[in-house]
């Protein structure tokens, strides 16, 4: 059976570290509040790098680690809610900079589930025999759309990018997945609204603030715990794999309390969940691949291990994938 196997992982984040204490200097918050409610201690914030710079950094690493030429890349999919432009796509910018002249390149958007959705799309192209390989990247500079005067959101997010180079395989790879969307509650997490203004229509009033990330934290929390628990359960059940067989779960790095609840509900030991949100915060579509790359770089996973990636986010959306490494 043809599957899609992750051959290499990579990540690229801005150098600037902003701690909780740094944030307490600009909004009414504290290290204690942020740590207790979210598990986040610091995050990387761009000091000029745009999303494409981070994404290109990741793509270059992927080529180097996988030891493949740029010309051999068939497909580039980037996931982002903060691309440099509406057009060109981030993926086309990556294509130009790395010289992947033979690739088809496009973006998708599924917020914090973006990497899961992008990997799923790449998997379908590969399984169907259309392409043999792909670069899949999640990249964000959320600092562009965060309201730095709103303490309820600005403490949560960070900038960064991560990704994977995947290839057609006949043994290991993606073995089961579930993607889901619940558009009827899209308004509990929004950002980047662009009003319909033109020469014949005045700008809608009161929409300026809708550029910024806006969130009903409690509703998002409720959605996250429910969707992640159900999708992990469904994926394991469909694959006939027990939680004991999993080496690691790499969850979206939004909030350690969400992960605690998921761990309790599924009765999966907390230390099977790989977390680095204390150092990066929530980097949306980049969060799962940044964490996966860390896990891989540390040598904590070996070929043949079963790992589970799971994300949730705006839309609302979720995605869970079981992989034999």
Q: Which residues are designated catalytic? A: 112, 252, 282
> Which position among 112, 164, 228, 250 is part of the footprint of ligand COA (CB under 6 A)?
112
| Identity of the residue, 139 or 215, whose beta carbon is nearer to ligand COA in the bound complex | 215
Smallest gap from residue 254 Cβ to ligand COA (A): 3
> Which position among 25, 218, 267, 303 is part of the footprint of ligand COA (CB under 6 A)?
218
Residues 86-90: contacts with CB under 8 Å, at least 24 apart: 90/51, 90/52, 90/55, 90/137, 90/139
How far apart, in Å, do the first and last CA atoms of the chain sit? 16
Place of tokens 């794999």: 241
Name the token pair of 27.
């909004």
| Identity of the residue, 34 or 322, whose beta carbon is nearer to ligand COA in the bound complex | 34
> Which position among 44, 151, 168, 306 is part of the footprint of ligand COA (CB under 6 A)?
151
Q: Does 155 bind ligand COA (CB under 6 A)?
A: yes
| Identity of the residue, 4 or 320, whose beta carbon is nearer to ligand COA in the bound complex | 320
Q: Which stretch in 73-81, 120-128, 139-147, 211-219 sits in contact with ligand COA by CB under 6 A?
A: 211-219
The CA-CA-CA angle for residues 137, 143, 149, to 5°, reads 155
Name the token pair of 290.
């940044």
Name the token pair of 216.
């009903």
Q: Does 220 bind ligand COA (CB under 6 A)?
A: yes
Q: Going along 151-269, which residue ranges are E strands?
A: 159-169, 173-181, 189-190, 214-215, 246-251
> Which position among 88, 192, 195, 217 is part of the footprint of ligand COA (CB under 6 A)?
217
Q: Which stretch in 149-157, 167-175, 268-276, 317-325 sits in contact with ligand COA by CB under 6 A?
A: 149-157
Q: Does 282 bind ligand COA (CB under 6 A)?
A: yes
- Using CA atoms, how far residue 8 sits from 100, 131, 133, 176, in Å, is 17, 17, 12, 20
Q: Does 43 bind ligand COA (CB under 6 A)?
A: no
Q: Which stretch in 42-50, 126-134, 147-155, 291-299 sits in contact with ligand COA by CB under 6 A?
A: 147-155
- Closest residue to ligand COA, Cβ-based? 217
Q: Nearest 5°: phi and psi at 214?
A: -130, 140
Q: Does 313 bind ligand COA (CB under 6 A)?
A: yes
CB 68 within 8 A of CB 76: no
CB 95 within 8 A of CB 105: yes
List of residues contacting ligand COA (CB under 6 A)? 29, 33-34, 37-38, 112, 151-152, 155-156, 189, 215, 217-218, 220-221, 224, 254-255, 282, 313
């Amino acid at each position: 059976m043809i599957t899609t196997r992750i051959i290499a992982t990579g990540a690229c984040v801005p150098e600037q570290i902003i701690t909780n204490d740094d944030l307490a200097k600009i909004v009414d918050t504290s290290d204690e509040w942020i740590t207790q409610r979210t598990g986040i201690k610091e995050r990387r914030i761009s000091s000029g790098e745009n999303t494409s710079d981070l994404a290109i950094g990741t793509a270059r690493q992927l080529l180097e680690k996988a030891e493949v030429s740029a010309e051999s890349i068939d497909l580039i999919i980037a996931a982002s809610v903060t691309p440099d432009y509406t057009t060109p796509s981030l993926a086309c910018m990556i294509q130009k900079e790395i010289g992947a002249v033979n690739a088809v390149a496009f973006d998708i958007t599924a917020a914090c589930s973006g990497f899961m959705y992008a990997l799923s799309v790449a998997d379908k192209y590969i399984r169907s025999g259309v392409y043999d390989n792909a670069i899949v990247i999640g990249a964000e500079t959320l600092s562009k759309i965060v309201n730095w005067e709103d303490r309820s959101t600005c403490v949560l997010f960070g900038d960064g990018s991560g990704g994977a180079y995947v290839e057609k395989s006949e043994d290991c790879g993606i073995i089961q997945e579930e993607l889901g969307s619940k558009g009827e509650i899209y308004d509990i997490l929004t950002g980047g609204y662009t009003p319909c203004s033109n020469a014949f229509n005045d700008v809608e009033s009161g929409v300026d603030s809708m550029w910024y990330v806006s969130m009903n934290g409690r509703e998002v929390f409720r959605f996250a715990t429910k969707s992640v628990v159900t999708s992990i359960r469904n994926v394991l059940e469909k694959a006939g794999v027990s939680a004991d067989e999993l080496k690691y779960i790499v969850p979206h790095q939004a909030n350690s309390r969400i992960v605690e609840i998921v761990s309790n509900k599924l009765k999966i030991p907390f230390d099977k969940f790989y977390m680095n949100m204390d150092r990066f915060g929530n980097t949306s579509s980049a969060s799962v691949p940044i964490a996966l790359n860390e896990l891989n770089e540390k040598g904590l996973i070996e070929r043949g291990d079963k790992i589970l990636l799971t994300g949730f986010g705006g839309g609302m959306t979720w995605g869970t994938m079981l992989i034999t490494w």
